[in-house]
Structure formats: C-alpha cells, structure tokens
Structure 1
Amino acid sequence: MKSVAGLFKYFQPYRFIVLLGPLFMCLEVGMDLIQPTIMQKIIDNGIASEDNGYVLWMGLFMFGAALLGLIGGIGSSIFSTRAAVHFATDLRKDVFRKIDYFSGPNMDKFGAGKLITIMTNDITAVQQAAMMTLRIFVRGPIMFIGSIVIVYLTARELFSILLVIVPILVILIILFTIKAGSLFGLVQKAIDRVNTKTQEHLAGVRVVKAYGTEEYEMKQFSQVNENLTKVNIRADLTIMGLMPILQFIVNMGIVFAVWLGAIKLDGGSMEVGVIIAFVNYLTIILNSLMTSSSVLMQITRAFPSAGRIKDVLDTKEDMVEAEMPVSIPRRKGEIEFKNVSFSYSRNGEHVLSNVSVHVKAGETLGIIGATGSGKSTFAKLIPRLYDVEEGQILLNSTDIRELSFEELRDSIGFITQKNMLFSGAIQNNIKMGKSDASEEEMLSALADAQALPFVRNLDGMLDYELTQGATNLSGGQRQRLSIARALVRKPAILVIDDATSAVDAISEANIQAALKKHYAESTKIIISSKISSVKEANQILVLDDGKEAGLGTHKELLESNELYQEICRIQGIKEGETYGSARK
C-alpha cells in the first residue's frame, strides 16, 4: 500500500482532470440510480391508473436522465483516461531516467529482464489500475450504497434480504482479493523469467544457430513459459471463480424477493412496481460489487507492480557525485592508479588487487594478460562505471570521485569490448561521442577509424539506418564505427578495450598510425590480448589474475618478464622483431 501511495505524486500536475473524472462519474451514477424508481412510478402510478399523460411525461424524464448519464459517462471516460495516461507517461519517464543513471552494481542487482518488465508490464498494470480507480471504482461503491439507501426508503419490506446477501458478497470479495494478490506477485516474477530468457535468446540467436541448439533453447524457454502459464491459470481462475459465485447468490436473492413479493402482493401490502424496482436495484448491487471486485483485483494486481517500480525509483545509486565537484583542465589526461583493488561481489575475492600505474598526459599505456586477468575491469573503473573498493584513481592529480560524472566522462572516449551501436542513422551513433559534431568532424573520425571506405558505399552514408544492434553491419564494421564514435570527441583520455579484435591487421596498423598522428595529446589506454596492439606503448602493464605481473616497455618486458615472454612466444614475436616482420 505504501508503494502505491508513493506514486500518487504523479497525479499532482493533473489534479484538475483527476477531479473531473469522478465528478462526471457521479453524474452518470446518479442518473442510473433513479431509472428503476422512475420505472416503478410509471408502472404503479401511470400504467396501473391508465394515465397516459403521466406515462409520457415520466418517459421523457427517463430519457433526459439517460442523456445526462451518457454525458457523465463520456466525460468520466475522457478525463480519467487522460489522467491515467499522463500519470503513466511521467512515471515511465522517471523510471527510464533512473535506470539511465544506474551504476554497474545497480544494473547487476535488477537485471535487464526485470527492468524491461517494470518498464512495460508493471507500469501498464499501474496505469490500468489508476484509470479503473478514477472511473469504475467510483461508480461501483456509489451505485452500491445508493441502491441500498433507495431500497431502504422505497421497499423496506424487502430490505432484510439485503442484510443477508450483502455481507456474504463482501466477505467473498475480500477473501478472493487477498488470494489473488499473492498470486499476481508470482505472475510478475514468472514474466521476469520469460523476458530474461527471451532477451538472452535474441541477443545470442547467432550462437544458437551456429551450434544448432534450437531444440535445447526451446526446451529451456518451454520451462519458464510453462511456469508462467500455470501461475497465470491459478490467478485467472481465482478471479473468474468469484463471478459465478456472486451471480448465484444474487439470483437466490432475486428468487426469494419474487417469492416474498408475491405473498405481499396477494395481501395488498405491496405493488408490482416495487418488486420490479427491487429486482433492478438488486441487479445494480450485484453489478456494482462485480465491477468493484474487478477493479479491486486490478488494484491488487498493481500492488506488486507498484512495489517493483518504487524499488527502482528508491534505489540509491552506489556511486554518487561529490557535493562540491572539483574542476580539472579539459585537455589534460594524466591518470594514475594507486594501490587499486576491486571486487564485483564485495566479498574479498578481488578482480584487481593492489594495482598501481602512472600514465602521463599524452602517453600510451598498454594492458595485456590472459582472459579473466582484470583487463576490462581496469577500463570500467576509469569512467566510474564501478567504484574502486580500495585505493584511488587520480585524473590530473585529483581523485575521480571528487569530479562530477559529466566532467569525468566528457574527458574520456570509451571504446568497449562489446561494440554497442543503437538503431537509427550512423550519424546519430557518431554524435553520441560529440552531440554538435560537424559532418567534417564525423568524416574525419570515420577515416581515422578506417570506417569511411565502407560508409561511403552505404545508401545515404551518414544517414544510413542501422537496425537494432546494427545487425545489418559486419562485426568489423560495427567495431570501427564504435572507434569513430570515441575519436570524434578528441578526448583527453582514450580507453580502447580490445576494440580491434574484429579488425584486420592492415586496418589495425592504420588505426594505430592515426592515433599517433591525430590524437598525440590524448592519453591512450589500450587493452588487448595481442602484442601487436600494445608493443609501441610507453608502458605495458601485464596482469595475471588481477595482479600486476609486470610493468615496462615492450623491450624491457621481453628481456625480464617470463609471462610477457610466454605471450610473445605464443604469438610468434621475438626480441628485435617488428610486428610487420613477425607477420611475414
């Protein structure tokens, strides 16, 4: 309940239309409530007395009431829908903004599948609950209470029937609602698993096809899908099972009312119109309870969704900016790791342990090591995708935790190991590196990244539309566009995390030549598993199981570091050889 109350603030900007929806609904309900009473008058005072004028006048009055009810219903639908949709739009925007600023640990905590479910199913469920609350949930209780009051005033002889039926109906609705609430929580978790599995499959569909494991993946998906089916059936049967029971109880009340009314009618103490009006009001009570229970079920279903949404909105970011950030020179990129240790799980099992290295502005640091040695983690710590557990990272002699995220990340060009491009025009992807980049700057960056030749051959060049994940490009083309996106901003620090693995040797050599020529002022952190990518660096850091296993130039390491010598031996690099001669 607290989670739902915490979302009420999103109605504040629309409080006027939020108020209009229920007000128009009150008009509709009022007109609906007087219809059976008007019919009673027509039967008992008009038809029974053969007063056609009275029947005509009351008929016109009934038509006018129905017309007003129509206006109220339309108005209520318009305003409640607008309020609920605006509410969901603002809520979705804030959730997306919150996710957008999540740190690495925050993302790891929720997982992509769950966040997608929250952004879609959960917010839609809360929107539907809000709309139904503003409209139908106002209608149900008013119709219910109004019908009971009118029956008490106009058909008191039959009122005792309501005293028996109504408590039974209310108790049943409460019990079913409690049961349904727990089941809907399970439904949301099952949807999370289906979304996660679907996302994983779509991301790795090429691997699945390459290994021919379609049937295995289908079995895996069938398991989570079957679980969702079972939980959905239980939840839906709980809801649907309530309706026939309510209908049966009300029908029994109608039968008893007709039987009792017939006795009273024979005794002359009751008129036909009163019995008909009571049956109508009993039907209204049933409908109001059924609609109210449906809304209550929807609200109950929205409770787990609202809780999950609030979990996202209330999540405290693991990494926060300094209250008074320090400014540093924009074009200078001196960086230093001082005794840095880091663990993803924070359980003492460090991915990096006590690493120290100092890179002067404009210099190049190469990082090499086996898979799992901590190379990519080293890269992620520089733009504060994660925070160090121990030690410091200094940028221009200032701890990066004392800088604003904007200033820190604006000074970094980050080329990730996974070449993530977004759907849309190529130029939109390049401008992520520099939003105001001119066409000349983009073409220059593409040329330096060895991407210009293939971009020139695409329809529209910079306007060429990429599909989701840029699947209409090859791996090497995606990699070169990712490099161009980082180069266009002419960063103070350029972090290249194994970003030439899908690039041929000639293109890689040309990229390295462009980095030396056009980005001499940038401090370059080049992470690679290939000696050829790092051998010209001012320093090469050799990592082994997260620890510093060597630091020096290519020549120094080749003379004194056994691990580096082993890597060179495996890759066919010998002392005194250039990369070109080694390839020959």
Structure 2
Amino acid sequence: MLANLTRAYLAPYRRWLTAIVLLQLVATMASLYLPSLNGKIIDDGVAKGDTAFILKAGGMMLMVSLVQIVATICATWFGARTAAGLGRDLRASVFSRVGSFSAQEVSRFGAPTLISRSTNDVTQVQTVTFMGFTMMVSAPIMMVGGIFMALREDVGLSWLVAVAVPFLGLSVALVIRRMIPQFRLMQESVDWVNRVLREQITGIRVVRAFVREDHERSRFAEANTQYTGTAVAVGRLMALVFPIVMLTFNASTVAVLWFGSHRVASGAMQIGELTAFMSYLMQILMSVMMATFMSMMIPRASVSAGRITEVLETDSTVVPPTTPTAIPDGATRVELDDVEFHYPGAQNAVLQGISLVAEPGSTTAIIGSTGSGKSTLLSLIPRLYDVTGGSVRIGGVDVRGAALTDVWSRIGLVPQKPYLFTGTIASNLRYGDRDASDEDLWAALRIAQADGFVRAMPDGLDSAIAQGGTNVSGGQRQRLAIARALVAKPSIYLFDDSFSALDLATDARLRAALRPVTQDAAVIVVAQRVSTIIDADRIVVLEDGRVVGTGTHDELMQTCPTYQEIAQSQRAAQEVAA
C-alpha cells in the first residue's frame, strides 16, 4: 500500500530521484574507500615511517571525505524537497477528494478521522519517504560494498560477517513483527483523541452549562490513556531494538579483535587490514541498523498509507454526469416527483412518495414534527444526497443529469446550523459573490435585519468572525447566513429552519423585507413555527416521511389534522408563556 501510494505521487520527481540515487552512490562509495585508505596509512605509512606517503594518503582521505560530505548534503536536500512535495500533493489530493464527498461519505468517515488522515497520516508517509531517500538508498549499497571490501581485506574473518548480519536482521525483524498491530491501534487512538477534543472544544458552552467538566475530563483521559498505553507498548518494543543492535556491534568488535589479533600474530594479516576490516564490519552492521530503523517506521507509515488510500479511493455517491444537460437560463421551477430516500443501511425509507412543485415567485413551506424528514427533503434539491427513488428537477432537468456547478450556482442555501468561517463579516458575505461591493453587502444585511448589529461593531464589515461564528449570537449567525445567501442573488432560495433563533418581531420584518427580493425566485422554507410560514403560498405538511397535507394556512386548518395539532400546540404554548 505504501509503495503504491508513493509510486503514484512521486512520478513527477523522477529526475530528482535519479539525482538522489547517484549522489547517495557517490557518498557511499566514498565512505567505503576511506577505511581502505586508513589501513594503508597504518601499514605503509606509519609502520614504515613514510611521512610523504602519510601526507599524500591523508590528503586523498580529505578529498574523499569532502566529496562524501557534498554528495550527502545534496542528496539530503533533494530528498527533503521531494518528501515535502509528496506531503503537499497528498494533502491536496485528500482535501480535493473530501471536498467532492457528499454528506453521506463525510458522515461515514467523520470529521476527526478525515483531519487525522490529512495531517498525521500524511506526515507519517512523508517522514518515511524522506528517511528512505537518505537511508534505504545507501544501506544496500553500503552492505554489498562493505561485504566485498571486507572480503578483499581478509577472507579468514568473513565468517564473522556471516554470523553477525543474520543475527541482527532476524532479531530485529521479530521485534518489528509485533509492532505492526500496535501501530494500527495507535493511529485509531489518534482519531479517538481528536474526536473527543474536537467535541469538547466545539461544545464548550454546553459542557459548562451542564457542569460536565469532570465527565469530559474523564472521557478525554480515557482516550488519552489508550493512546498513551499504545505508545508505551510500541516504546517498549522499540527499546528492545537498540540493546540488540549495541550487543551485536560490541560482540562483533570483540570477536574481530580477538580472532584478528591471532591472525596478526601469525603474520596472516596486518594491523591496518584488521582496522579496515573492523570498519567495514561496522559499516555493514550500520547498514543493517539503518534498514532496521526504516523497518520500524515502515509499518506505521503503511497503516497511514492505507488510511489515506481509503479516502482517495472512496467515490462520492453524488456522481457528476459524464454528459451533463444544461439547465435553461432563468429556470427557477423546482419539482419533486414521487421522491423516495433511504439512508445507507436503513431498513425504512426516510421519505416516501413526496411530490411537490415550487413555482417562481412563490413561497413553498415545509412543516412537520421533529424527525419527519424536512431537512432531508431540502438536502435532496442541491444534491447533498441523491434520491433513491423518483426525481428532483430544476427547470425540467433532473439534477442528477446536470452539472453540479450548474445546480449549485442557482441555489442559495441557508442551512439549519449556519456556519461562518474564520475571517471578517465581509469575507463571509462574499462567499455568495466574491465580487460584491460594500453597497451590495449592506443591502443584504438590511434585508436580513443584520445591519444594525454590524454597524454597532467597531470595524463594521471588517469586524472579525471566529471559526464557526462563535463570537456572535445564534440569531446574529442566522441573519448573517441569510445575508450571505442574498448576496449570491440565486434563482432558488432554500431556508432550512433559518428563522428559529429570531424573535417573532424580527422574523416578521425579515420575511416582509424578503418578499420584494425573492419575487422572481422559487423559495422553499423549512420551519418549525407556524407563524413563520403562515403567509406562504403553499404549505406541505410531512409526517413520518410522507405528505399528509398541502394547501394554504387556512385550508390546512380545515382539512389537515396534523397541521391543526401543530398550530394548536404552538398557540397553547404562546398562551402559557404570555
């Protein structure tokens, strides 16, 4: 999985990869040549007192070392740039893929894990790629070259290489094998910590309102403890690796000195050759250790690569058509014909047999009890979900056969939970139209009954908005979201319970101000309060996902028991409150 992912995203860096391999080859060959030079200095220079030879060989060692340093620096630079580019491209791909998801895929993954996969998981892949460029390229070259050079120095001690290398590789491989499931559990624990932390930060007001700080601390402590426990378990296994490596290094050094000293004493080997052989053995073991170190990182990066690939290979259930049909210019008529919708895995349909028409210049209202499917029905029009039966048409064109941008550009959606982005009031309003002038923004704010509190802010349109709009009230957030939709000047307005946080007087003024602006547009309003939709041209009453009544307010009060019950319950509540 890791190899496939990196291969796909490293294709643009082929020249850089070639340069890295060549530079690492030069650096490794230089490092392999140095022990041999050092051995000659000892045997041919120091032993014979040949100062000229020592200076000449020493100068060559300095030159070789300089070449090695320059090649290593250049290879590391190329490796860092390539790994950084890989991380950038992976994050961009994950972001782009998530941006194409429908609400169904976003709900299936969840925001915390998507954030973890685009940050922590990408970092794991990026890190192991960089380490691979700086270690895994040189490690096999150093191992093969080290074995060749060691045999060249003395064949009689070669059995030490045959014993030390397999022992080190096998011992570490057994430890790494036990790490792989722990790494997978560690990434899942990161998701859990992110999810709990995100919920606590987002819902801090609710936590404090219900004095649930201790409960939330215990939830976070549980998630944090699991992550810590997994990290400690991995740490224990990693702690075994370095003692094994050092034991092998030290035992090999002692064995070379012990058996090599006997060969030196017998005249079969010179001291310089012994020193060079020991250096080559250390290089061989060092290459095994580097490969081992990479092997410790690869399992976790492989898990991360699998999680990233899962996102990249997930196709949205809302698929753009291959040959889209253009929606006629000026089309505002919205038709729902025998619409049915099932959530994935649900046995029963949320919506069944829904048919309605929203005409241009008219207001169609949808009302019903909680859970009747009002917001789900509204989500089908802009294709946040796709219908599982029937059809949704705009201007006579099925939205599944039209380009997504063609559908979205005609719709101004004010969601049930209005969301504002970090920035200013002006930057949030210009999400509707990035070229809108300040006059356009103020006009939209006046219609949305938001100009008063915006003018009262110190910086007016340039007043700061925190993430999610947490520094303004719920009613102000709703009015700013309505103004944002008005700035776009769409031909279809969808208000998903967008007036619930407004008092009755503000609600009435806002609806009155909307009529002249929306006189040529189709307006669909989902509401809980009868007072909000009492003047609607057509009211659709939902119950258990079915239409149980349509008509004006007066007609429904005569013919629809469900609507009568809703109206009477709200009237009784108002009388009690009064």
Tell whether the structures are fold-level matches, with TM greater than 0.5: yes
Q: Give 1:435 shift.
A: 2.5
Aligned to 2:254: 255
Instruction: Give the Cα separation in 1 of the matches to 2:451 and 2:125.
Output: 48
Contact 1:335 1:393 in 2 (8 A): yes
Contact 1:330 1:411 in 2 (8 A): no
Instruction: Give the Cα separation in 2 of the matches to 1:523 and 1:536.
Output: 15
Contact 1:422 1:470 in 2 (8 A): yes
Instruction: Give the Cα separation in 1 of the matches to 2:143 and 2:449.
Output: 73
Instruction: Give the Cα separation in 2 of the matches to 1:558 and 1:450.
Output: 30
Contact 2:172 2:244 in 1 (8 A): no
Aligned to 1:115: 114
Instruction: Give the Cα separation in 2 of the matches to 1:223 and 1:360.
Output: 54
Aligned to 1:164: 163
Instruction: Give the Cα separation in 1 of the matches to 2:21 and 2:236.
Output: 31
Instruction: Give the Cα separation in 2 of the matches to 1:244 and 1:281.
Output: 21
Range 172-181 or range 504-513, more displaced? 172-181
Instruction: Give the Cα separation in 2 of the matches to 1:583 and 1:334.
Output: 40
Instruction: Give the Cα separation in 1 of the matches to 2:239 and 2:71.
Output: 29
Aligned to 2:212: 213
Q: Give 1:506 shift.
A: 2.0
Aligned to 1:199: 198
Q: Give 1:573 shift.
A: 8.0
Q: Structure 1 counterpart of 2:421, which letter? A: F
Task: Give the CA RMSD over aligned residues.
Answer: 1.9
Aligned to 2:564: 565
Contact 1:330 1:492 in 2 (8 A): no
- Normalising by structure 2, report the TM-score: 0.97
Contact 1:188 1:305 in 2 (8 A): yes
Alignment of 1:20-39 (within 5 A): 20-39=19-38
Aligned to 1:318: 317
Aligned to 1:481: 480
Q: Structure 2 counterpart of 1:209, which letter? A: R
Instruction: Give the Cα separation in 2 of the matches to 1:4 and 1:452.
Output: 56
Aligned to 1:458: 457
Range 214-223 or range 563-572, more displaced? 563-572
Aligned to 1:149: 148
Q: Give 1:457 shift.
A: 2.4
Instruction: Give the Cα separation in 2 of the matches to 1:566 and 1:180.
Output: 62
Q: Give 1:526 shift.
A: 0.9
Instruction: Give the Cα separation in 2 of the matches to 1:519 and 1:145.
Output: 77
Instruction: Give the Cα separation in 2 of the matches to 1:151 and 1:287.
Output: 14
- Deviation digits for residues 442-489 of structure 1 (CA, Å, limit 9, x no counterpart): 221111111111112223322222111122212111111111111111
Q: Structure 1 counterpart of 2:303, which letter? A: P
1:71 aligns with 2:70: yes
- Deviation digits for residues 519-574 of structure 1 (CA, Å, limit 9, x no counterpart): 11111111111011111101111111212121110000111222211211122289
Return closer, same or farther for 1:286/1:424 CA change in 2, 3 Å cut-off: same
1:46 aligns with 2:81: no
1:81 aligns with 2:80: yes
Aligned to 1:7: 6
Q: Structure 2 counterpart of 1:131, which letter? A: F
Instruction: Give the Cα separation in 1 of the matches to 2:482 and 2:548.
Output: 29
Q: Structure 1 counterpart of 2:230, which letter? A: V
Aligned to 2:533: 534
Aligned to 2:378: 379
Instruction: Give the Cα separation in 2 of the matches to 1:375 and 1:456.
Output: 35
Q: Give 1:7 shift.
A: 3.5
Instruction: Give the Cα separation in 2 of the matches to 1:88 and 1:343.
Output: 38
Alignment of 1:176-187 (within 5 A): 176-187=175-186
Instruction: Give the Cα separation in 2 of the matches to 1:499 and 1:336.
Output: 22
Q: Structure 2 counterpart of 1:518, which letter? A: V
The secondary structure found in structure 2 opposite 1:344 is: coil
Instruction: Give the Cα separation in 2 of the matches to 1:40 and 1:388.
Output: 79
Aligned to 1:272: 271
Range 200-209 or range 276-285, more displaced? 276-285
Range 95-104 or range 561-570, more displaced? 561-570
Q: Give 1:517 shift.
A: 1.4
Q: Give 1:346 shift.
A: 4.1
Aligned to 2:295: 296
Instruction: Give the Cα separation in 1 of the matches to 2:315 and 2:468.
Output: 30
Contact 2:334 2:358 in 1 (8 A): yes
Range 200-209 or range 5-14, more displaced? 5-14
The secondary structure found in structure 2 opposite 1:156 is: coil
Q: Structure 2 counterpart of 1:8, which letter? A: R
The secondary structure found in structure 2 opposite 1:435 is: coil
Return closer, same or farther for 1:487/1:330 CA change in 2, 3 Å cut-off: farther
- Structure 1 portions without partners, runs of 5+: none
Indicate the percent of aligned positions where both proteins have the same amino acid.
36
Q: Structure 2 counterpart of 1:537, which letter? A: A
Contact 2:165 2:285 in 1 (8 A): no
- Deviation digits for residues 118-153 of structure 1 (CA, Å, limit 9, x no counterpart): 000111111111111111111222222211110011
Instruction: Give the Cα separation in 2 of the matches to 1:288 and 1:410.
Output: 59
- Deviation digits for residues 413-461 of structure 1 (CA, Å, limit 9, x no counterpart): 0000111111012222111112222222222111111111111222332
- Deviation digits for residues 498-524 of structure 1 (CA, Å, limit 9, x no counterpart): 111112222211110111112111111
Alignment of 1:382-461 (within 5 A): 382-461=381-460
Instruction: Give the Cα separation in 2 of the matches to 1:401 and 1:486.
Output: 23
The secondary structure found in structure 1 opposite 2:495 is: strand
The secondary structure found in structure 2 opposite 1:275 is: helix
Instruction: Give the Cα separation in 2 of the matches to 1:171 and 1:507.
Output: 75
- Structure 2 portions without partners, runs of 5+: none
Q: Give 1:332 shift.
A: 2.7
Q: Give 1:582 shift.
A: 12
Instruction: Give the Cα separation in 2 of the matches to 1:440 and 1:509.
Output: 24
Aligned residues: 578
Contact 1:433 1:486 in 2 (8 A): yes
Contact 2:354 2:546 in 1 (8 A): yes
The secondary structure found in structure 1 opposite 2:352 is: strand
Q: Structure 1 counterpart of 2:522, which letter? A: T
Contact 1:490 1:522 in 2 (8 A): no
1:543 aligns with 2:547: no
